[in-house]
């Protein structure tokens, strides 16, 4: 069914929405740092404002406060998700194609080379610490590290 066009002037919430949407997206963009997230945040803020609109003396202030709170909540959720990924890794299906390719490449490395790469880049251990964990010399760690990186670069390029 086609949408009916009307020549009636906008009133109330509809006029407020049209007049303030771009400013709300801009504010949400500055708060969130992402255009797509900004549009979602602005829409959510207007959804929360709409039922209260007629009772508010200062709808602009309510809109701003709602945007700030929504952006803070999204930021906290993103931080929790990042922490979860660091602790447990991503859920199956959430890994990018490039990350899956890297994971497969790591699996094809011999165990000792893979161990050096994982201990170095995942845990951030020094060569001496890796040597201690693997029961070998620092020079051995260096050579395994070099061989592993060469293989990884060759496969991923």
For 11-70, the pLDDT digits (tens) are: 899 999 999 999 999 999 888 877 788 999 999 999 999 999 999 999 999 999 999 889
Per the CB < 8 A criterion, the answer to whether 106 and 114 are in contact is yes
Best CA proximity match to 28, nearest among 18, 41, 17: 41
Q: Residue with structure tokens 């693997």?
A: 134
> CA–CA separation, 97 vs 94, rounded Å?
9
What's residue 34's pLDDT? 78
What's residue 95's pLDDT? 64
Q: What class is the 97-156 domain? A: mainly alpha
CATH number for the 12-88 domain, one of 1.20.1640, 1.10.1740, 2.20.25, 3.30.2320? 1.10.1740
Q: Is the pTM of this model over 0.75?
A: no
- Are 12-88 and 97-156 in the same CATH fold? no
* 42 Cβ neighbours under 8 A, 6+ residues apart: 21, 24, 25, 27, 28, 67
* Domain parsing of the chain, residue ranges: 12-88, 97-156
Per the CB < 8 A criterion, the answer to whether 148 and 117 are in contact is yes
What's residue 2's pLDDT? 45
Percent of the chain with pLDDT over 70: 87
């Amino acid at each position: 069914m086609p949408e009916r066009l009307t020549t009636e002037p906008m009133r109330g919430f509809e006029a407020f929405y049209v007049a303030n949407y771009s400013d709300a997206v801009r504010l949400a963009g500055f708060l969130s740092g992402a255009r797509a997230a900004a549009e979602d945040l602005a829409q959510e803020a207007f959804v929360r404002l709409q039922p209260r609109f007629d009772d508010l003396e200062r709808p602009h202030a309510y809109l701003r406060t709602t945007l700030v709170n929504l952006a803070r909540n999204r930021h906290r959720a993103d931080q929790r998700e990042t922490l979860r990924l660091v602790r447990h890794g991503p859920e199956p299906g959430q890994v990018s194609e490039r990350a899956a390719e890297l994971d497969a490449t790591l699996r094809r490395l011999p165990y000792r080379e893979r161990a050096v790469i994982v201990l170095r880049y995942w845990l951030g251990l020094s060569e001496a610490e890796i040597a201690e964990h693997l029961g070998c010399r620092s020079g051995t760690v260096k050579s395994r590290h070099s061989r592993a990186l060469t293989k990884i670069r060759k496969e991923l390029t």
